[in-house]
Each structure stands twice: as structure tokens, then as C-alpha cells.
Amino acid sequence: MIGSLLYLTASRPDILFSVCLCARFQACPKELHLHAVKRIFKYLAYTPILGLWYPRNSSFDLHTYSDADFGGYKVDRKSTSGTCQFLGNILISWFSKKQNSVALSTTEAEHITSGSYCAQIMWMKQQLLDYGFSFEKIPIRCDNTSAIYLGKNPVHHSRTKHIDIRYHFIKDHIENGDIKLVFVPTQHKVADIFTKPLDEQTFSNFRL
């Protein structure tokens, strides 16, 4: 059941977080996990017409949203990272993954997410360059101002010196003009749908 749902997430990003959360319990599933999976199937049965739409008159600006649910996974309190990339209004890539280590603050969780997906943006930028499209200062939209300030200038040494150095390469790309961190209000944070359970109205708004 999980394998079928994971295959479906290639065209239904709205179920990605729920499916990935259920997939974490495949080794030792319980009855409540089976009920959760059945709820996903029930949701799919009532929303068969939903899918991805790629209009040909969309703009061609590459931008991304990143988010992290700080300590949201109650089993081991690791944060969940989520991101989605757009070309104009076209959703081209999305991801939801539990972080490898326990973050000690919201700033750290958000900064780890931004740094991880900066590498993905650089890969996309290089791929599009092969097709003749060049991008500068690709915006990564984040709703955490501390993570934005940290990416631009890691001055919070007392709180962030334990973060592995590989996550600070995002500062180099900002200085080189490859990307830029942009604040976006939480109510417009599309990546929330990949990191945490949402109320019905918010979920429906992001799903559209």
C-alpha cells in the first residue's frame, strides 16, 4: 500500500507528507498506521480529478519555497524538511524528508533546510543553463527571519556554532549572487504542506 502511494506522489504532491510519515512505520506497523493509510486512500477516492497543471503561458522564473517543522516528529523529535520548486507558476519539484539530526532551535532547523536545498537549486540552475536559460539570485522563500539573517551573515555564534559547516555554504552562494533568501509570510508558505499537518482550509488553499 505504501509503495503504491509513494509512486502516486509523483503526480499528487498533496499527499507527500502523509505518505512519507506513514512510510516511517513500515518496519513495525500497527493498526493505527493502517487506519492512517486507509484515510489517504479515502481522500484520493474523493479527489480523483486533482493533479498537476502546466500552462504554456506561464512565466519562466525559477524560485523555491523551503520550510522545516521544528521537532515535529514526536518519536525522536527530529525536524521535517520540505521544499518545492517552481518555474513561474509551474510546480516542477517537491520534497519532504526527516532531518538526520535533532535541531536545537527553529533557526537551526530552517537553516539546515535552506542549505540542503540550495544545492538542489544549484543543480537545477546548471541543468537549465544547458538549455540556454540563465538565472541569477534565485529566491528561496522562507518565513523565519533568523534563518535568513544567519544565511546572509552567520553571526549568531553562541547558538549556531554546533551546526555542521557544510550548511554554511549557502552564504557563499548568496555572496556570489546565485541565490537570495526572501521572507514570505507563513500564510503564503506553500512548503508547509510538505512538513506538517494543516487544517482543512489552509491545506485546500495550498493544494490549489
**Domain spans in the chain, listed from the N-terminal domain onward:** 2-52, 62-194
- Could you tell me the pTM of the whole model? 0.81
- pLDDT tens by residue, 12-28: 999 999 999 999 898 88
Dist. CA 43–CA 122, nearest whole Å: 35
Of the options 3.30.420.10, 3.40.50.300, 3.30.70.3270, 3.30.460.10, the CATH number for the domain spanning 62-194? 3.30.420.10
The percentage of residues in the chain with a pLDDT greater than 90, rounded to a whole number, is 17
**Cα–Cα distances in angstroms (integers) from residue 10 to residues 7, 54, 114, 179, in the given order:** 6, 14, 22, 26
User: Quick check: helix, strand or coil at residue 9?
Assistant: coil
- pLDDT tens by residue, 81-107: 888 999 888 888 898 888 887 887 788
- pLDDT tens by residue, 189-200: 888 888 888 888
82 touches 68 (CB < 8 A) = yes
Strands 138-142 vs 179-183: parallel, antiparallel or unpaired: parallel
Dist. CA 172–CA 139, nearest whole Å: 15
- pLDDT tens by residue, 120-151: 888 888 888 888 888 888 888 888 887 787 77
Dist. CA 85–CA 18, nearest whole Å: 19
Of residues 11 and 58, more confidently modeled: 11
For range 97-120, the mean pLDDT: 81
Q: Is residue 5 scored above 90 in pLDDT?
A: yes
